[in-house]
Amino acid sequence: MGLFLKIAIVSDLHLGYERFREDAFKQAEQALEMAASSADAIIIPGDIFDMRVPKPDVLAEAINLFRNLSKKEWRSRVETTEAVNRNYTSVPIIAIPGTHERRAQGVENPVTLLGLAGLLVDVSDGYAVLQKGDEKVMVYGIGGVSEERFLDTIRKLDPKPLQGHFSIFMFHQSTYELLPFSEDFVTFDDLPEGFDLYVDGHIHSRVEKKVHGKPFLIPGSTVLTQLKDSEQEEKGFYIYDTVANTYSFQKIKSRAFFVVKVDIGNKGAEALVKEIKESIEEALTRGSKSPIIRVQMSGKLKKDARSIDIDYQGIIKGYEGRAVVEIARPGVEDIEAITDVDALRKGSLDNMSVKDYGLGIFMERLKESKYNLDISPTELFELLSSETTKEKAVKKALEELFSN
Ligand SMILES: [Mn+2]
């Protein structure tokens, strides 16, 4: 009959990501176009955009991308929706906002805008039903919320599968099994029961697990963002066959990323520079076009050698056009490195985003100062980080804090 439904799961596109803006766009475009030509529908568990308030040119990029997809001859269509926002299309592209798009409550986010424009279906806090012939698929979505509110949100919404439908539960959060360092994270058991497939975003590397005996999939991001060891794997997306209950990972052409380790081990400045260059040259022989190479150093220089004598910027510049080089020095405050070290200290995997790390520090400090106010710390964090100028953010937060 050929009526099986193939669902592509594409996540964390991070359009507008400043550092690798073109990679973000090209790799998102490639993943979505491949998905559109090989699947009957696309679901996106969050972080289409890298920021809550994308600039008009980033919005234009996204609009063009999704408009092209919506013109395709789709073999399935969205028949019904029951979500917070109204639906304006039958094109089978279903999404939720993620943490990067998350804004203070009651403020529109950019994924909702794409939904309003009829370019995709925003299934926040509700569901959509896809149909192809007799085959029906239901997708229930909960957009990214602060971690400590997620369990309450599940309880309040009480998501249930639909009878006679292949039912998918889609969300964008951390889970305790994958990141065992915060009691705020839900466990697999907390997720609603009875769905045929669980799909999560947020984590930028690939995950395949089981929840309530059913597949749980995270495709990872389509663009490199955190430059961690775990991001050296190939990028791509999943295609899930809802009749055979099988899935496969489809790779995209993404910029290669290599982490090379250099032991400073009592070297002098000159010897260290030589070793850094050799390790970069070695990575360049692996045959990728303009890869990102992160040099991870450990150890100390020999006694009378000074780090200041090493022209790291000169080394980086020397590879321009051939590679994007990043040199992580020990002892230099590098947020990603701190995140890694901290996550390791807490015995977790290295999958935490910088934002979550920032939020973690914020919560800890508030706890130390015995914070006790009506507004939740994460709401406060959202308020403080939702404005582009510090003055406005502080003003807004103060208003919120002292309005009663
Ligand atoms: Mn993300």
188 alpha carbon – ligand 1 mean position (Å): 20
Pairing of strands 93-95, 166-171: unpaired
199 alpha carbon – ligand 1 mean position (Å): 14
- pLDDT tens, residue by residue, 142-175: 999 989 899 999 999 999 999 999 999 999 999 9
**Per-residue b or e along 324-344, where b marks 16 or more CB atoms closer than 10 Å to that residue's CB:** bbbbbbeeeebebbebbebbe
Q: Can you tell me the distance from the alpha carbon of 91 to that of 89, in angstroms, rounded to the nearest whole number?
A: 5
69 alpha carbon – ligand 1 mean position (Å): 22
334 alpha carbon – ligand 1 mean position (Å): 20
Helix (H) or strand (E) holding 382: helix 377-386
Task: Report the first-to-last Cα separation within the chain, whole angstroms.
Answer: 63
Q: Which CATH number fits domain 6-251: 3.40.309.10, 3.40.50.2300, 3.60.21.10, 1.10.260.40?
A: 3.60.21.10
pLDDT, residue 303, reads 87
CB 166 within 8 A of CB 129: no
pLDDT, residue 354, reads 65
Domain segments of the chain as ranges: 6-251, 257-328, 335-402
pLDDT, residue 191, reads 98
**Per-residue b or e along 283-313, where b marks 16 or more CB atoms closer than 10 Å to that residue's CB:** bbeeebeebbbbbbbeeebeeebeeeebebe
pTM of structure: 0.80
Q: Can you tell me the distance from the alpha carbon of 180 to that of 348, in angstroms, rounded to the nearest whole number?
A: 6
221 alpha carbon – ligand 1 mean position (Å): 7
Looking at residue 213, the DSSP 8-state letter turns out to be: T
**CA within 13 Å, CB half, 137:** 31
18 alpha carbon – ligand 1 mean position (Å): 14
Helix (H) or strand (E) holding 316: helix 312-318
Residue ranges for the chain with pLDDT beneath 70: 1-4, 103-106, 331-356, 370-377, 379, 386-389, 400-404
- Sorted by sequence, the CB contacts under 8 Å of residue 80 that are 6+ apart come out as 128, 129
CB 43 within 8 A of CB 7: yes
98 alpha carbon – ligand 1 mean position (Å): 7
At residue 9, the 3 state secondary structure works out as strand
pLDDT, residue 366, reads 76
Q: Can you tell me the distance from the alpha carbon of 38 to that of 28, in angstroms, rounded to the nearest whole number?
A: 15
pLDDT, residue 392, reads 75
